[in-house]
Amino acid sequence: MDEPDWRRFVAAYHHAHPAITERLFALADASPYAWLAEPLRDARGPVLDLACGSAPVRAELPDADWVGIDLSSAELAEAARRGRGPLVRADAGVIPVASGSVRAVCAAMCLPVVTPLPDVLGEIRRVLRPGGTLAALVPSQTGLSPSGTLSWVRVMAALRAVRQPWPNPQARDGLAALLRTSGFRVRSDERRVFRLAVDSADAAQLLADALYLPALTPRRAEAAGRSLARWAVRGRHLELPLRRVVADLPTGRTPQEPT
């Protein structure tokens, strides 16, 4: 899929499924957004929530000088409906914010899907103050137990998908390395395996809808949901490995890269 087609898919997908990521994460045994927000709780200065979607991180940083941007008006409408703001409709590749004006950028579940990624990383660097922080949450492809792997095989078989064909696969487990080569100083790179309770027909359908698969027609998503509903018995969990990377922009004084 080329970039214009991908962008069309993303726009249509979020128009049809606003807040889909937040709804999926509501099935988790702990909040991935709370985990992401932890390193930003003491940030003194503006926090930019990049590709904020329905803005779940806003709820984790109630006292922050926070602003959320996203390209999807449906996602932003959902954020506003939940009382979250301020919100700006904007492209992550052309952030409408002055250079060096932001203390921290939060990027929840967006770096593997925003395009073109080099422009987005360039914009994050531009808007951050020297010494400013990027906290990013991305899916990880490692960390599954053997039974967790089997569960994912079951889910992907129901969806008749082999993988998620996202445009920036290097921004998942390779995110820390990518940020280093993009001029950031990586402070931490951690993986945590969350557990989604997929124990009802509704949860099964939500999962079938939430995996960002461009080839998935609404009809096939429904069929996958029905198939997964038979598997989604009481007590059923699906492991979800996520990676949190926290990186700082150098201040210009003696940056010390951890090895």
Ligand X SMILES: C[S@@+](CC[C@H](N)C(=O)[O-])C[C@H]1O[C@@H](n2cnc3c(N)ncnc32)[C@H](O)[C@@H]1O
71 binds ligand X (CB under 6 A): yes
3-state percent breakdown (helix, strand, coil) of the chain, nearest 5: 40, 20, 40
52 binds ligand X (CB under 6 A): yes
24 binds ligand X (CB under 6 A): no
Among 17, 27, 56, 102, binds ligand X (CB under 6 A): 56
Among 108, 198, 228, 238, binds ligand X (CB under 6 A): 108
209 binds ligand X (CB under 6 A): no
**Least Å distance between CB 113 and ligand X?**
6
* Token digits of residue 116: 């073109």
**Least Å distance between CB 61 and ligand X?**
13
> Residues binding ligand X: what is the number (CB under 6 A)?
21
Pick 18 or 227: Cβ nearer ligand X: 18
Instruction: Give the integer Cα–Cα distance in Å for 240 and 141.
Output: 9
151 binds ligand X (CB under 6 A): no
Which among 91-99, 122-130, 170-178, 216-224 is the span making contact with ligand X, rule CB under 6 A?
91-99
Residue 59 makes CB contacts below 8 A (sequence gap 6+) with 33, 82, 84
Q: Helix (H) and strand (E) counts for the chain?
A: 10, 7
Neighbour count for residue 2 (Cβ, 10 Å) = 8
Among 39, 85, 93, 165, binds ligand X (CB under 6 A): 93
224 binds ligand X (CB under 6 A): no
Instruction: Give the integer Cα–Cα distance in Å for 45 and 66.
Output: 9
**Least Å distance between CB 114 and ligand X?**
4
What is the per-residue burial (b if ≥16 Cβ within 10 Å, else e) of 221-249?
A: beebbebbbeebeeebbbbbbbbbbbbbb
Strand partners, 89: 70
First to last CA, the chain: 36
**Least Å distance between CB 46 and ligand X?**
17
Among 65, 91, 199, 202, binds ligand X (CB under 6 A): 91
Residues found near ligand X in the complex (CB under 6 A): 10, 14, 21-22, 51-54, 56, 70-72, 75, 91-93, 108-110, 113-114
